[in-house]
Structure 1
Amino acid sequence: MQAERAAVATADVRVGLIGCGILRSRTPAMHMAEAKAQGFVCTYDLLDMEDDERRDMSLAEMLDRVEADGYAGVNVTYPYKMEVISLLDELSVNAAAVGAVNTVVFKDGKRFGHNTDLWGFAESFHRGLKGAVKDDVLLIGAGGAGVAVANALANAGIKRLSIHDVDYNRALDLVEHIAERHPELPARAIAEISDAFSGGRPNGVVNATPMGMAKLPGSALPIEYLSDNLWVADIVYFPLETQLLKDARDHGCKTLPGSGMAVFQAVRAFELFTGQPADPERMKATFDAFDSKPSG
């Protein structure tokens, strides 16, 4: 099904982000600053489902509330990117292909689901890891974000993909998905990360799990697997330097932080919410400004 974008144009707009542990998200600032630069107001609310006022609410109840409150749409993040699909009326081509939604637009009494993660990671990967060897890649995480990343990697021309998830059946499901969508790409599910390094080493590793977030500290990849001939990408962006990226840099790896995916998925979501194209460089400047502000 083909989803539609909001026809808000330059009218003031209210949107939000639904997820868990999202209070350090930089997405609101990017959307609000971009709208201001274009001459209208965007109100962007963080709707953390772990807050006391929402702790007992279901995702369905939350969507009902924001739609009734006149939101133009919402972004959806961990752990709801797959669950939300059953609550929508139509899916975009990318969302249907990935089987996960991170952007919901409310229009004409319907809910349209989009996936801007795929394009966001693809654009970040293309710009941030030019010349990276793509013969063999390990993807850690087969949830909603992992499916988007897997499709982006397939589109980028990687030649072999190993997929690890703490839920092995979910990794098997993603392998099946890749076989259907990208039959030219050999993909396999691995029960242990060590399996990806036995009999050879991958050229790159992508963390598509929430491991490394402020609320889930640590690294998805044990440090013993790092070496200077490995590139490492992370989709987590708060903190900007995750434990994985710090360890990777310490071992001489070329790295790709989650900031690129965060910016480019927001660029696409902004257009879906408002009907207006966003300036990627301007939104990146807003994102980067967080790092120049004094703490506390």
Structure 2
Amino acid sequence: MKASSPARETIRLGLVGDNIARSQSPRLHRIAGRLCGLDVTYDRLVPADLGRDFDAVFAACGKRGYRGLNVTYPYKERVVSKLAVNDPVLRAMAACNTVVFDAPTPAGFNTDHTGFIAAFRTVFGNAGPGAVAMAGTGGVGRAIGFALGRLGASELRLFDRDRPKAVALASALASVFQGLRVEIAGTVADAASGADGLVNCTPLGMDGHGGTAIPQSVIGSQSWAFDAVYTPVETAFIRDARAAGLAVMSGYELFFHQGADAFDIFTGCKVDREALRQELLKSAPASDEE
């Protein structure tokens, strides 16, 4: 009689955030697990739907066998106080989107940061960002601001309706990138005037958050644009930028690369990214705009 193979460990992962019903992260991580020969589960965890606040949901995940979590809007800054963050640049960034429960204090990482760098190089090659106007300085804005610094941006012009957030990010960037010029803009139009790149790091344009943070009237003289929103991929901002002749990078590219980076951290397995991209495209739900 043939001996049965030992059962494989199930790697339990999840995403904590608001407005994540259409997130494709569960599909990405399950496919990545299959490609690596791993059993992976991945849950959507919306605090309001669970009748708990973020702190309670996070604590429960740590006790219930989760290997790791992705953390998304609006909790990327809030989670940092609960984590061991070893990278000094990440500590200055003060935002995490990836958590691993492998020690008494969970470890924090930011794959929005690494994922944006990978996505930018994939789409734009070795070109530099130049002077960049960025709307939104919350969790994803902090990660992308630091990524733009690492990519060699010459100038960052930050706009946020919550001005103290923009001031805090400017200060954090100045502490790490000594030669980077950072300005706080009074309006999006002021930030966009004369910029090379336009970046949206607000939730505007996402399903459930209508509108656009960067109006059509300020788009046209720049060379490239990026929208962190990927549900839907074709936001009004991306359509306007493309129509104005700008080279565009959609939020899907950030979603893909940050997700692959997070999977590598969660599992220690480096997934074949081209195979993962193809599998995601083949299995995309018909109703998705991806």
Q: TM-score, normalised by structure 1?
A: 0.89
Q: Matches of 1:108 and 1:153 in 2, distance apart?
A: 31
1:42 aligns to what? 40
**Residue 172 (structure 1) aligns with:** 167
Indicate the residue corresponding to 2:61 in structure 1. 66
The yes-or-no answer on 1:12 pairing with 2:6 is: no
Q: Show the counterpart of 1:22.
A: 20
| Count of residue correspondences | 280
| TM superposition shift of 1:13 | 0.3
How far is 1:64 from its partner? Answer: 1.3
User: Corresponding residue for 1:284?
Assistant: 277
Aligned to 2:248: 255
Q: In the alignment, which residue of structure 2 is the partner of 1:239?
A: 232
Cα displacement (A) at 1:193: 1.2
Cα distance, 1:121–1:133 mapped onto 2, change above 3 Å: closer
The aligned amino acid for 2:182 is A
Higher RCO, 1 or 2 (CA under 8 Å, sep at least 6)? 1
Cα-to-partner distance string for 1:157-194 (whole Å, 9 max, x where unaligned): 11111000110111111111111110110101112112
Query: Which residue of structure 1 lines up, in the alignment, with residue 85 of structure 2?
Result: 91
Question: How many angstroms does 1:97 deviate by?
Answer: 3.5
Which residue of the partner structure matches residue 213 of structure 2?
Answer: 220
1:62 Cα offset (Å): 0.5
Alignment of 1:145 onto 2:143? no
Q: 1:206 aligns with which of 187, 199, 218?
A: 199
Give the match's secondary structure for 1:282.
helix
Relative distance call for 1:133 and 1:239 in structure 2 (3 A) is: same
Partner residue in 2 for 1:123: 118
TM-superposed CA distance for 1:92, in Å, is 3.6
- Give the gaps of 5 or more residues in structure 1: 1-9
2:96 aligned with 1:101, yes or no?
yes
Contact 1:218–1:243 (CA<8 Å) still a contact in 2?
A: yes
Q: 1:217 to 1:92 in 2, by over 3 A?
A: farther
Contact 1:263 1:287 in 2 (8 A): no
Aligned 8 A contact 1:98 1:115 in 2: no
Q: Structure 1 residues 214 and 290 mapped into 2: Cα distance closer, same or farther (>3 Å)?
A: farther
* Amino acid across the alignment from 1:34: A
Conserved 8 A contact 1:133-1:203:
no
Cα deviation code 1:245-282 (max 9, x no counterpart): 01111222110001111111111111211121122222
User: Shift in Å at residue 133 of structure 1?
Assistant: 5.7
Contact in 2 for aligned 1:168/1:190 (Cα 8 Å): no
1:215-237 Cα offsets, whole Å, 9 max, x none, are: 11221101101116431101111
> Alignment partner of 1:233: what SS?
strand
Cα distance in 1 for residues equivalent to 2:71 and 2:128: 32
Q: CA RMSD in A?
A: 1.8
Cα drift, residue 290 of structure 1:
5.6
Q: Normalization by structure 2: what TM-score?
A: 0.91
**Structure 2 vs 1, CA of residues 128 and 16 (structure 1 numbering), >3 Å: closer, same or farther?**
same
Distance change in 2, residues 1:37/1:131 (3 Å): closer
1:110 aligns with 2:105: yes
* Alignment-mate amino acid for residue 169 of structure 1: P
1:101 maps to amino acid: C
1:131 Cα deviation (Å)?
5.9
1:294 aligned onto 2:289: no
